[in-house]
Chain A
């Protein structure tokens, strides 16, 4: 495993998947994995199978729904899209994340004193 890649933080994958679906509209699992890969610029070490675990979790919460469709290259694929409930959850999670990230940032910026 390459050392310069980071593990996905616990619980953040769901948020990333939700945001991806929110931003790009209906996507299949492969598309979601590609998008995250693209955005992370190869920094994240993503086990792409875990995307499906996240999708399953989100679906059980009712935050996303799935529908079978045909992909760009004419293959059968399952498309996921975000629900109203999911959008609300995304909003909550984003706020939460920003709050936590803000705290962490401030903590990390602390100067050594004395």
Chain B
């Protein structure tokens, strides 16, 4: 307690120092004056009085010194002197200063760039809402199932129960986390908009006020009397309606229903879900206008609502969690269903839903770990360069120590210089982070309809500042300790300047550590990049060129089934006649997309427990031909078979054929699908492909007919698929002016999505590897060059005594290469251990791939050789007469 008070008093003293000093001086002056007066009153002469007063008071200077020492930590003036002096010292060696700053800036910058994403995804609360720290989200969790699959959003009836019975929350709101696509019909055309269904209390609870008109209210969201009203997003209002001030009150035709615009949301508000930037919001109660699912609001087994709440009062999340658990029990008991019990889990609200935060965190955390290694290399770089410099400045330090600078004073001076370097590097690092994070966003495939704001806000700047300061201390400590440990008498007496190689144990350790870290990083990066190259070369089982795909949903216009089929038939006919088109077909969705359907298959009805798990795709005739999937046996589905409501005929893939009929011809056999009541006939077998991810093991797949309203159009062309994009887009309104196609893209663009994770990973790791090699080379070069320059005199003597150039070369290179060899050895062992962690991420390559290890070691050795050779060559050319004379 007393200590704390003393420290605080010192800090305060620091702050009000000037004033305090003056007051103290005045107090003393006054005291002495009073003493003098008294002496004069006693009859002394003025001179005598002054002397007596001073004697009685004691040593004024010593007193002031003591006061000064006690009061503040350090005067700012002294710090400023250190900074100015440091500035001069840094400017004196611009090249090595620049090298240090560059290395650190790249290290800090890459870390901050990754952190920008951590911030945007995990730390930053949703924007444009009030009291973000009181917001929570609730997910249902099935305790019996593990991983992210165990988490579910809410069904509407469950949501309503929680909403009506919670007491610890001010309110519970819900929205559809996936968003809703709708066709906006205006001026005789159709355009796809992204909307979000939200509960009526969402806007009021979040404290989001309309920019114009009003937001949605609970009255709009009345199940008995739903209002067809909508709030527009600021972006949509500005871009599509030109910021029309009269937009409020107008009518928007969305999926064939008239919606009245009641307001415009403020700029910056994009809802509560990561990546979503809706054009409009509508009440939950009108969901059937968009989903065409009349029963959904009463269906307890339709889990589609993401649920968030606002805590009451100071916001105690534990209390809310406790209450939610009770509500979960009540819901379970009230339903008395045979389904599993679903617990309610409360998370603080951020843009990434709670259950998935762990995965995002692990991914970004892994990246941060990789770049932390890069930063570590940068630090050792900086440390060894500064250490070399500190040794070179030993004389300066000795002189200063001889003139009375204390050890602490010298230590501080060196640390200030390091911190200055770190500060400059930190500022540059923030700039690098800004540029890099924007570059990374460019890697995102254009067809993912996801928006993410990645601002450089205070959290990112704070992060950069903290790691800059930490690196400044980390790399500045060794040089500062060395500089302050001078023995002035010895240093100044000794004429010799040989900063002996042997003296610098720390530097050797740093070089070895750096080399070892570099090996680990490079092995990791090389493994990932090689695995990525293999992934790029994976055959997905269909052709990845000359194909155009597009998604269509005439169901959103409320077509009856007959008109729907008619629409698709006419569209296929028109597209078929476009120039260059060789075939056209449909599928419910394509392999390697985000959708999937699982089923079981067996040889007998019903499917037993050892039935085979299969993935189902629904396709129209001609799909295999259009996608370039080879038909190995039998035939394609016919038009009638594809239209039939039951899967009379199916096509299976090789894997399923092999599993069910290992030694027979499957064509003509009967297949039992777990989801059907009648048997299906296998009419064909197609070659295996990749269906869910590129890295998967072979999956069993069934292709059947009976396509849903939402379909993907696939078009094969003999010419350039790019030129076909616009034409396909134009054919859709030609068949029905109110329709619009979404995601019209070439198959190459489509494939960007499955390749995205590997590509990003490969890109980042490639960058980290290149940086690591660069920094290691700089460090090695800098240190060897420095040692050579320090030993010029010695080398001159050796040569004067008869050493040949090759001897000198051998000596200098030998030193560098010995360290390199040790570093490589340690590094390879560490890499061998560390790469096991990578094993699950790698495709088609072993974690301890000997080729990779050898290549990395050889490459690094070659780089180290060059980094040592350049300074060694200079040493070799030392002219003995010059070297000896310069002393």
Contacts and interface: CB of A to CB of B under 8 A. Distances in A.
Interface of A: 28-30, 33, 47-50, 52-53, 56-57, 59-62, 68, 75-78
A48 B58 contact: yes
Contact of B5 (A49, A60, A75, A78): A60
B70 A56 contact: yes
Given A33-B31, A56-B67, A78 B23 contact: yes
Interface of B: 2, 5-6, 9-10, 23-24, 26-28, 30-31, 34-35, 56-60, 62-63, 66-67, 70-71
Given A61-B2, A62-B5, A52 B30 contact: no
Contact of B57 (A47, A57, A68, A75): A47
Contact of B59 (A29, A49, A60, A76): A49
Question: Which 10 residue pairs of A and B lie closest in terms of their CB atoms, listed nearest first?
Answer: A47-B58, A49-B58, A60-B9, A49-B63, A48-B57, A49-B57, A30-B34, A30-B31, A62-B5, A60-B6
Nearest to A75: B30
26 contacts: A28-B27, A30-B30, A30-B31, A47-B56, A47-B57, A48-B35, A48-B58, A49-B57, A49-B58, A49-B59, A49-B60, A49-B62, A50-B63, A52-B27, A52-B63, A53-B66, A56-B67, A57-B70, A60-B5, A60-B70, A61-B2, A62-B5, A68-B23, A77-B30, A78-B23, A78-B27
Contact of B56 (A48, A56, A75): A48
Given A29-B31, A52-B27, A59-B9, 17 more contacts: A28-B27, A29-B27, A30-B34, A33-B31, A47-B56, A48-B57, A48-B58, A49-B57, A49-B59, A50-B63, A52-B28, A60-B5, A60-B9, A61-B2, A61-B6, A76-B30, A78-B23
Contacts of B60: 49
Contacts, number: 58
Nearest to A52: B63
B640 to A, nearest CB: 95
Nearest to A66: B23
A48 B28 CA distance: 10
Contacts of B27: 28-29, 52, 77-78
Nearest to A37: B56
Main secondary structure of the interface of A (DSSP, over half): helix
B5 A53 contact: no
Q: Which applies to chain B's interface (DSSP): helix, strand, loop or mixed?
A: helix
Tell which of A52, A59, A77 has the most Cβ of chain B within 10 Å.
A52
Contacts of B63: 49-50, 52-53
A29 B30 CA distance: 10
A110 B63 CA distance: 41
A111 to B, nearest CB: 41
A31 to B, nearest CB: 9
B34 to A, nearest CB: 5
A111 B242 CA distance: 109
A10 to B, nearest CB: 15
Contacts of A47: 56-59
Contacts of A33: 31
A76 B25 CA distance: 13
A70 to B, nearest CB: 12
A7 to B, nearest CB: 12
Contacts of A50: 58, 63
B9 A48 contact: no
A57 B23 CA distance: 16
A52 B34 CA distance: 15
A100 B23 CA distance: 37
